[in-house]
Amino acid sequence: MVGSVTDPGLGPAAEPGRAPAADAERPPAAEPGRPPAADAERALPADAERVPVAEFDRATVAGATAALRPCCAAARWADQLVAGRPYRTLGALAAASDTAIAALDWPDIEEALAAHPRIGDRPDGPGRDAAWSRQEQAGTSTAGPGAQAALRSGNAEYEARFGHVFLICAAGLRASDMLIALHGRLGHDPAAEREAVRDELRKITALRLGKTFR
């Protein structure tokens, strides 16, 4: 993890009679002919509690991009947010995310959609995005067989009409709420539905940014 916000090079003081722990925390020296391991020192953690935005601001491009990826899989969105640093606050980062998503082309949105499971399908992968999908779709886990069958049928009808998964910010919704939204959106023309998808992606991404940064 990147060091403390105030001074990334400082660690806790050594206890009397004990050697400082700096050597244990310092990455190994670079091999001859290879650059120092600065990128490794300043890369963001893949799994940890929320990271201060100040650390994201000063992380390497690779580290910052990796921290964003579970929030939204659109590469152009991540590139724009990384290039726009520093943000200093979560509010500024979230506002920049909203602006970036509003400017994405449809192929970028499709790239993000590819990382989202169908409503009712609970991914079992170990990644943060899979864990968040399970949390966000918790309302489907207690749905009865009838509601589960209706979700499967609705997903199939939606995908046949629009050619991509039904995306909804499912956090806090019951299966019945999701079904109502799904059937309502089946009445959209393709252009209107693309804008509905963009707005749901914006809400999901904002939620996940709040789980990642502080």
- Residue 116 among the catalytic residues: yes
Q: How many angstroms separate the CA atoms of 172 and 17, rounded?
A: 53
Which residue's structure tokens are 């980062």? 93
Which residues contact residue 174 at a Cβ distance below 8 angstroms, ignoring those fewer than 6 apart? 139, 143
Distances (CA, A) of 156 to 36, 151, 164: 52, 9, 10
Separation CA 157–CA 83 (nearest Å): 39
Non-local CB neighbours of 39 within 8 Å, separated by 6+ positions: 60, 62, 63
> Which of 116, 164, 183, 188 is the catalytic position?
116
Catalytic residues, which ones? 116
